[in-house]
Homo-oligomer: A and B are copies of this chain.
């Protein structure tokens, strides 16, 4: 058996979002040797998208991998199926139906390709390079425009029988609660704990409290960031927005803990910038809803990965898993 020189191995990590697609060449230490991005939504068909990806990435490979070995490609994408290497009926992408994306990438780049959804990729990134190093049982919750999740049990990501496990953002935290703007479900975690959910809560609450600083902003400027600014200035309504959000999140986390009993829950994404405003009520309501046997055991941890690079790192971690 030939010895493998880890320092010579490189993975291509690609994160496909609804608007932008980011990519990077990553080594075993989680260093990004080169990176870039293209628009996702300008390509009506997926072949053209892959062509543009190739034209942008090939020069980076030539430049940075002459003395190294590109081992493979990892892709994080919405509705990606880990087992089949497909993107299936992704509501926020233009390519409809079932896209055999991994196969098409392998054909174009001549390298093996693995895929999973973006939150699963983020969880792998945390295992490989981040706060979950050495952990075997944890849950990753990404709190951004939406709420995603990656669940690791016994050191392995949970994919379920069909490759779609871990849609915790869509679990119902309040039956007959807030209607989701896209799925139509009522009372999902995402409807409350995403950045979108926070801005809905803030708009409702500022209408109830005319004295709130939140009323100094135009409707379109009400978002997690501006609510945070008001909370920092001591606005009770803004603080209540995060308290309410944290309550819903904490109640959901308690249910997740009683499912898989993780040692930690990792929180990631724009929403966590609110810090203790959201973390403290989240922890309170998580603990309050847990059976005693689970209490004061589960750490709530903020991700250590740089938000701008986490998606690329996570996708690249799929390659090392191969």
Identify which of B161, B171, B261, B293 contacts A261 (C-beta below 8 A).
Answer: B161
Instruction: Evaluate whether A160 and B291 lie within 8 angstroms (CB atoms) in the complex, with A255-B171, A255-B172, A255-B255 already known.
Output: no
Interface membership of A219, Cβ < 8 A: no
Q: Which of A151-159, A195-203, A273-281 contacts B (4 or more CB under 8 A)?
A: A151-159
Assess whether A79 is interfacial by the CB under 8 Å rule. yes
Give Cα distance in the complex from A255 to B256, angstroms: 10
Q: Which residues on the B side are within 8 Å of A185 (C-beta)?
A: 289, 291
CB <8 Å contact, B259 and A256: yes
Contact B154 A258 (CB under 8 A): no
Expressed in whole angstroms, the Cα–Cα distance for A297 and B158 within the complex equals: 17
Contact digits for A162-180, partner B, Cβ 8 Å, 1 yes 0 no: 1111111011111100000
Whether, in the assembled complex, A126 has its beta carbon less than 8 Å from a beta carbon of chain B, the answer is no
Contact A259 B259 (CB under 8 A): yes
| A289 proximity list for chain B (CB < 8 A) | 172, 185
Chain B residue numbers with a CB within 8 Å of A175 are: 173-174, 251
Docked Cα-Cα span, A171 to B257, in Å, equals: 9
A254 at the interface (CB under 8 A from B): yes
Q: Please name all residues of chain B whose beta carbon is closer than 8 Å to the beta carbon of A173 when the two chains form the complex.
A: 175
Q: How many angstroms from the CA of A164 to the CA of B137 in the assembled complex? A: 12
Complex interface: chain B residues within 8 A of A30 (CB): none
Check A244 for interface membership: any CB of B closer than 8 A. no
Interface centre among A137, A258, A291, by most B CB within 10 Å? Answer: A258
B172 touches A251 (CB 8 A): yes
Give how many copies assemble into the complex.
2
CA distance A297 to B162 in the complex (A): 9
Residue tally, chain A, CB below 8 Å to B: 44
Question: A229 to nearest B CB, angstroms?
Answer: 29
Residues of chain B within 8 A (CB-CB) of A164 are 261, 293-294
Question: Shortest distance in angstroms between A28's beta carbon and chain B's nearest beta carbon?
Answer: 26
Are B172 and A263 neighbours in the complex by a CB distance under 8 Å? no
In the complex, chain B residues whose CB is within 8 Å of the CB of A89: 292-293
- Please report which residues of chain A, range 290-317, place their CB below 8 angstroms from some CB of chain B when the two chains form the complex: 291-294, 297
Least CB distance, A136 to chain B, in whole angstroms: 7
**What residues of chain B lie closer than 8 Å to A256, measured between beta carbons?**
259
Shortest A71–chain B CB gap in Å is 24
- Could you tell me the distance between the alpha carbons of A152 and B192 in the complex, rounded to whole angstroms? 30
Contacting residues, chain B, for A260 (C-beta < 8 A): 151, 158, 160, 165-166, 259
Question: Is A262 in contact with chain B by the CB < 8 A criterion?
Answer: yes
**A258–chain B nearest beta-carbon distance, Å:** 4
Can you list 22 A-B pairs, Cβ within 8 angstroms, ordered by A?
A88-B293, A89-B293, A136-B161, A153-B153, A153-B165, A154-B156, A154-B158, A160-B260, A160-B261, A161-B263, A162-B261, A162-B263, A164-B294, A165-B261, A166-B260, A167-B291, A168-B259, A173-B175, A174-B175, A183-B291, A185-B291, A255-B255
